[in-house]
A = this chain, B = another copy of it.
Amino acid sequence: MNHYYWQKAEENLPKIYEEEIRVASENKILHSGDSFEIDLGNHYVGYFSFVLGYTNMYPDAPVRLSLKFSENRDEADADFSSYRGRLCASWLQEEILNLDSIGEYRMPRRYAARFIKISVLYTPREITLSDFHFTAVTSADKRNLRSFDIADEELRAIDAVSVNTLKNCMHRVFEDGPKRDRRLWIGDLRLEALTNYYTYQQTDIVRRCLYLFAAADCNDTGFLPGYIYENPKFVSGYWFLYDYALLFVTTLCDYYQHTGDAETFLDIYPVVQKQMDAAKKITDENGILSLFNKRDVFIDWNDALEKTVSLNGVYLYTLDRLSQALSKLNHKDAPIYQSRYQDTKHAAYRHLYNAKDHNFAVGYDKEQISVHSVVWMILGGVIDGEIAWEALQNTMKNPQSIKPVTPYMNHYLAEAMMKLGKQKEAISYIKSFWGLMIKKGADTFYEVFVPEKPDLSPYGDKMINSMCHAWSCTPSYFIRALDQDDHA
């Protein structure tokens, strides 16, 4: 760990705000075997408390309760004991409590929940549960939320759920998912930070997260880990994702673009250089980043996906953004990355683009056709204009092509559409994807959403999926950025 960067990160630790959520549930009179559900009316992250009492006779034994916290209806209806997924079952939010005496009980752990099911396992006498309180926590300061109104009702709803998703992921860092995996991941950080610039506008937490990654230990090649732990102590992540490491650079460029904070940019610039040097080390004789194992690149949760084309798109995208930032700073290194951008773009055009078929079915990716490849080649500037738009549409329509499964990848798909000037189509896509989640009951946007595969999970069991996930919060970014452009 780099102590200087870590110290800088700690200086930017955000304040946590509390909000008392009114719980509609009335007092309950209960016996052993009884259970009931509390509906908070929305998805919140925070702490739960209640008061244990009794009716006629003081309980002469402890009261044993089970409490199950669920992010949405599906999870509330799931039987946790049937869980067979790959991730640790301890993520499932359930507790067994033994309460020795009457009075208020404040549960010490934080939960992400809309529904709370309370079951009385054992009580010696008739008891009461009452005064249910849910104290929601977030580092998003609602006074900072940029006011926003738009005539389109559906977009207004999508914006509200996006903001709710972001808010519920904002704590000491931009968390990945407040129910499961509270780590800070680069891919999520970038999208949360982007959305934050248009909503809560809290740059301290972005700065903190950038410094936290700057403090992390790189692998032998020089790449940053995909995630870090920061509480109760800083621990560098063990999984190195090269696309994420490159997007760290992009995230810093975004930060500089939105804040003009050159000091922080330059402070972290040595880590940027290390990432760009690492990218060079995995570049082959054709100028293509190909010297990696599939496991070293994320792009999307899709085991079938080949990733060379996409990774090179991420690299080009990063080189482009970095060049722009350095130019704006009149930095001496600007020309280095400008020329590397041009060289790589030409290499990609030559070795990754199948000009005959207007796609990226090339040997590097086992001739695979994927939406991911087209999206990232558009974002990397390898193709553009109507050719790019047709390539994108054809690939999306092609039943054989690999499709995005995460809102994360869908973000980049929408971004590619926007880049091609297809705002109307992008908004329509956002409605059809994120809007559909709302129609199916989402209070916050999910980690994984494939309309035709409602039970899909990257972890082998849907109940462990995160239903409020950082990387899914970007519709607000698109809707608000577009609205801003319209007014400009």
Contact = CB atoms under 8 A, between A and B. Distances in A.
A62 interface: yes
Chain A: interface residue count, which band? 35 or more
Interface in A103-138: 103, 109-110, 121-124
A100 interface: yes
Given A89-B122, A96-B95, A122-B89, A101 B61 contact: no
A58 interface: yes
A294 B231 CA distance: 62
Contacts of A90: 61-64, 98, 121-124
A292 interface: no
Given A57-B238, A60-B181, A181-B60, A98 B95 contact: yes
A232 B123 contact: no
Main secondary structure of the interface of A (DSSP, over half): loop
A88 B124 contact: yes
Interface in A209-262: 229, 231-233, 235, 238
Given A98-B95, A103-B232, A232-B102, A88 B61 contact: yes
B235 A88 contact: no
Nearest to A180: B61
A438 interface: no
A123 to B, nearest CB: 7
A436 to B, nearest CB: 30
Contacts of A98: 90, 95, 109
A185 to B, nearest CB: 11
A102 B232 CA distance: 7
A17 interface: no
B109 A100 contact: yes
Nearest to A233: B102
Contacts of A232: 101-103
A103 B232 CA distance: 8
Nearest to A98: B90
Given A98-B95, A181-B60, A122 B231 contact: no
A36 interface: no
A486 to B, nearest CB: 43
A95 B89 CA distance: 17
Nearest to A83: B122
A69 to B, nearest CB: 11
A88 B123 contact: yes
Nearest to A231: B101
Given A102-B232, A232-B103, A88 B109 contact: no
A269 interface: no
B88 A229 contact: no
A95 B98 CA distance: 8
A183 interface: yes
Nearest to A123: B88
8 contacts: A60-B183, A62-B88, A64-B90, A89-B122, A100-B109, A102-B232, A102-B233, A103-B232
Closest 9 CB pairs of A and B: A61-B88, A64-B90, A88-B124, A62-B90, A90-B122, A96-B96, A58-B235, A89-B122, A101-B232
Given A89-B122, A102-B232, 5 more contacts: A60-B88, A60-B183, A60-B229, A61-B181, A95-B96
